[in-house]
Chain A
């Protein structure tokens, strides 16, 4: 991206910052650093490990996906805290499960879980926890028929329809994963 483009952001209000506006837009004097106000990073936590997440859609309404996508934006910035979404379940520590488990996705969800080195699942949203509004639908597995491996691997539940990103971040930050090679 050309540097001239960066310098013009953010568009500023001439009435609120008349001098800055005059400098930037009329005189063409650019500041060395842009006055970007981002939240200061929290203090480092020695000993906390990074977490690799994998999203698993089990038939959600795509509301929870929107929230998970929002986690990666500069406001929540989970990447800055060592939390990443990875492309393959084979690389992942935890599955973020969204949606009431549908019949059509049952086998696929099981296979994804088998691919994880250590099976761990976080249920994101009301549907993943108890089926939510869809629990009586014919295409959705009743709660007691969910695969044993999936329920056994559950390590946390994040309620809400959809849950707020703040809440998901809180849960992720408090998560302590025991790895197989930990002493």
Chain B
């Protein structure tokens, strides 16, 4: 830990009411009760450029504090392996829901708003308001009314004041409340300046895509602004974790949060549970997890690049890439019995499906061969395509998300790295498991300018446009391929070792871990960082499981990539205005690779 990080933590410690014993060594956990001190701490963090990773609430009225809690997770901007968890206990002790609904004065059960310092906090504040009915303290009462009225995930069909994540809302109570018939209107046109019109898109799109509703405010062809209405696919996954799953089988749900990042999600969940129960998993399981995570990254990147090229009418190359992707998918289907790598991760290690378990070395050999062919074909195709004028005309300068915007609005993964924030990678910043290996870590550090890379990128190319995201995906496929080769060499020596700690060990840890112990799990999916925060209930139940997929963060930053903006170019004299036209919209959307299911939960 650097001295600067230490000084920040020292300052937070001086402001906090208490410091709690963290669940892992790289996490500092502080408790606040007074808004003034919390605001001072947050101002300091903002000044030192710490990122707000996520923010969530928890109904802890049954615990000793008898109040709702709001948690905020921060991490430093550069490559320092450190987390900071701030816990704010709401000031009033409220025992029942009735008391809460009766008290008109919201300030008794509210928390200081972070949105003035961290704009992306608004996203989480809206979520907390919707799910718990606790509102942040804001100076402008209009802001609070807007927050109360905005429907993010719970649309009209759910009725008013549902607040499903409160612990008092049992399954039957929720089922009773949603009997209200759905309303018909979901398109609310606004008053527009002269010359502008709205192009509504969705919620059912023309293609094999998920459901989401966009309003593109256009003047002629140029997109001026975009507003997004999501939440159509809201299933209530966070509540489902609490009501129907246990710590031991929650991975079944976690892998189905988002299909194209199912391994990353189940991995983050399992790491969360392992952090709660304090389990160390066997090294061979770490290797398998790293291997499969990188395979998932490769097929996702190939899929996205192929999709982008399809959108710019380069269908022959797109089809060839799709063929390369499908050969990896068939590999999954044959050896892991599932195209999306389901049913492998468990808390305490991994369980290999029977084809791999019977003959792991043959599986590794075949995987190596097929991956080599697919990745080589893909890299050759990608490299050629990036040089084509037809590709460059459409992608360079389209959908620019500047570095400043990416930081302010909390973009993550490819979206952040393509804007120049290279350290925003969980594998690099918080290496766990197989990534702690020094020689493997060097692939990630050298990311852009590795010596014998087939394809390399200049840091100046990372301007946050579609081209940068396209090129970075191609670079990352190569890095992932090197990592896979490294892991496979390592795995070959350890194939005989057990891959799971055993159910007895988990049972024993479950018995000895007290209730309401918490843990944080994280992984880097192809789209960005996945975080799970898990609180253990009595026995093996889940008291709270907060899921933050990368899509949640990136959907917030995405509209800023669409809108008109002034940028400065190095070669030009003055500032330039970057605009996107209507036809760029699917291209920009695809280049972010946003998952609707991951956002809507």
B271-290 to A contact mask, C-beta < 8 Å, 1/0: 00000000000000000000
Instruction: Note all chain B residues with C-beta closer than 8 A to A5.
Output: 384, 388
Closest to B380 in A: A11
Question: In the bound complex, do residue B182 and residue A74 qualify as a contact, i.e. CB atoms below 8 Å apart?
Answer: no
Instruction: Note all chain B residues with C-beta closer than 8 A to A88.
Output: 206
Which of B155, B381, B384 lies in contact with A104, CB distance below 8 A?
Answer: B155
B243-283 to A contact mask, C-beta < 8 Å, 1/0: 11000000011001111101000000000000000000000
Closest to B178 in A: A103
Besides A66-B339, A161-B256, 7 more A-B contacts (Cβ < 8 Å) are: A55-B208, A55-B209, A108-B203, A134-B256, A137-B236, A138-B175, A162-B340
Instruction: Note all chain B residues with C-beta closer than 8 A to A11.
Output: 376-377, 380
Task: Tell me if A118 is interfacial: C-beta within 8 Å of chain B.
Answer: no
- Contact sample, A vs B, 30 pairs, CB 8 Å cutoff: A1-B388, A60-B259, A60-B597, A61-B258, A62-B595, A65-B208, A65-B210, A65-B259, A73-B323, A75-B323, A99-B233, A103-B182, A104-B157, A104-B231, A107-B157, A132-B256, A133-B252, A134-B256, A137-B240, A138-B174, A138-B178, A138-B236, A138-B239, A139-B158, A139-B235, A139-B236, A140-B236, A162-B259, A164-B333, A164-B339
Q: In whole Å, how far is A78's beta carbon from the nearest beta carbon of chain B?
A: 12
B367-382 to A contact mask, C-beta < 8 Å, 1/0: 0000000001100110
Question: In the bound complex, do residue B231 and residue A63 qualify as a contact, i.e. CB atoms below 8 Å apart?
Answer: no
Question: In the bound complex, do residue B210 and residue A134 qualify as a contact, i.e. CB atoms below 8 Å apart?
Answer: no
Please report B residues at the A interface, Cβ cutoff 8 Å: 153, 155, 157-158, 164, 171, 174-175, 178, 182, 184, 203-204, 206-211, 231-237, 239-240, 243-244, 252-253, 256-260, 262, 303, 314, 316-317, 319-320, 322-323, 325-326, 329, 333, 338-340, 342, 376-377, 380-381, 384, 388, 390, 595-597, 600
Given A73-B323, A161-B342, A164-B333, do A55 and B178 touch, yes or no (CB 8 Å)? no
Q: In whole Å, how far is B427's beta carbon from the nearest beta carbon of chain A?
A: 23
Given A102-B232, A104-B234, A133-B253, do A73 and B211 touch, yes or no (CB 8 Å)? no
Taking CB atoms and an 8 Å cut-off, the chain A residues in 51-83 that contact chain B are 55-57, 59-70, 72-76
Question: In the bound complex, do residue A74 and residue B323 qualify as a contact, i.e. CB atoms below 8 Å apart?
Answer: yes
Task: Tell me if A50 is interfacial: C-beta within 8 Å of chain B.
Answer: no
Question: In the bound complex, do residue B232 and residue A70 qualify as a contact, i.e. CB atoms below 8 Å apart?
Answer: no
CA distance A99 to B333 in the complex (A): 21
Given A63-B262, A105-B211, A108-B203, do A100 and B171 touch, yes or no (CB 8 Å)? no
Please report A residues at the B interface, Cβ cutoff 8 Å: 1, 5-6, 8-11, 55-57, 59-70, 72-76, 85, 87-89, 99-100, 102-108, 112, 132-134, 136-140, 161-162, 164
Question: In the bound complex, do residue A136 and residue B243 qualify as a contact, i.e. CB atoms below 8 Å apart?
Answer: yes
CA distance A6 to B600 in the complex (A): 42
Q: In whole Å, how far is A69's beta carbon from the nearest beta carbon of chain B?
A: 5
Question: In the bound complex, do residue A62 and residue B384 qualify as a contact, i.e. CB atoms below 8 Å apart?
Answer: no
Instruction: Note all chain A residues with C-beta closer than 8 A to B204.
Output: 56-57, 89, 108, 112
Instruction: Note all chain B residues with C-beta closer than 8 A to A59.
Output: 211, 232-235, 597, 600
Question: In the bound complex, do residue B380 and residue A108 qualify as a contact, i.e. CB atoms below 8 Å apart?
Answer: no
CA distance A84 to B207 in the complex (A): 11
Q: In whole Å, how far is B337's beta carbon from the nearest beta carbon of chain A?
A: 10
Instruction: Note all chain A residues with C-beta closer than 8 A to B240.
Output: 134, 136-138
Question: In the bound complex, do residue B157 and residue A106 qualify as a contact, i.e. CB atoms below 8 Å apart?
Answer: yes
Instruction: Note all chain A residues with C-beta closer than 8 A to B381.
Output: 9
Instruction: Note all chain B residues with C-beta closer than 8 A to A64.
Output: 259
Instruction: Note all chain A residues with C-beta closer than 8 A to B317.
Output: 1
Closest to A2 in B: B388
Instruction: Note all chain B residues with C-beta closer than 8 A to A68.
Output: 208
Instruction: Note all chain A residues with C-beta closer than 8 A to B239.
Output: 137-138
Which of B184, B244, B314 lies in contact with A1, CB distance below 8 A?
Answer: B314
Given A61-B257, A64-B259, A70-B326, do A137 and B203 touch, yes or no (CB 8 Å)? no
Instruction: Note all chain B residues with C-beta closer than 8 A to A57.
Output: 204, 209-211, 233
Of the candidates B253, B256, B376, the one having the most CB atoms from chain A within 10 angstroms of its own CB is B256
Which of B182, B208, B237, B377 lies in contact with A106, CB distance below 8 A?
Answer: B182
Give 10 nearest A-B pairs by CB, closest first. Answer: A63-B259, A87-B206, A73-B322, A139-B236, A138-B174, A59-B233, A137-B236, A139-B235, A62-B259, A138-B236
CA distance A56 to B232 in the complex (A): 13
Which of A76, A107, A140, A164 lies in contact with B182, CB distance below 8 A?
Answer: A107
Q: In whole Å, how far is A161's beta carbon from the nearest beta carbon of chain B?
A: 7
Instruction: Note all chain B residues with C-beta closer than 8 A to A1.
Output: 314, 316-317, 388, 390
CA distance A61 to B262 in the complex (A): 9
Closest to A68 in B: B208
CA distance A159 to B305 in the complex (A): 29
Closest to A105 in B: B232
Instruction: Note all chain A residues with C-beta closer than 8 A to B157.
Output: 103-104, 106-107
CA distance A9 to B384 in the complex (A): 10
Given A87-B207, A107-B182, do A66 and B340 touch, yes or no (CB 8 Å)? yes
CA distance A134 to B237 in the complex (A): 8
Q: In whole Å, how far is A13's beta carbon from the nearest beta carbon of chain B?
A: 9
Q: In whole Å, how far is B95's beta carbon from the nearest beta carbon of chain A?
A: 24
Instruction: Note all chain A residues with C-beta closer than 8 A to B319.
Output: 73-74
Instruction: Note all chain A residues with C-beta closer than 8 A to B376.
Output: 11
Question: In the bound complex, do residue A63 and residue B208 qualify as a contact, i.e. CB atoms below 8 Å apart?
Answer: no
Q: In whole Å, how far is B242's beta carbon from the nearest beta carbon of chain A?
A: 11
CA distance A87 to B377 in the complex (A): 31
Q: In whole Å, how far is B133's beta carbon from the nearest beta carbon of chain A?
A: 16
Q: In whole Å, how far is B342's beta carbon from the nearest beta carbon of chain A?
A: 7
Given A102-B232, A108-B203, do A66 and B380 touch, yes or no (CB 8 Å)? no
Q: In whole Å, how far is B439's beta carbon from the nearest beta carbon of chain A?
A: 27
Question: In the bound complex, do residue B322 and residue A74 qualify as a contact, i.e. CB atoms below 8 Å apart?
Answer: yes
Instruction: Note all chain B residues with C-beta closer than 8 A to A105.
Output: 203, 211, 232-233
Closest to A76 in B: B326
Which of A9, A60, A102, A161 lies in contact with B380, CB distance below 8 A?
Answer: A9
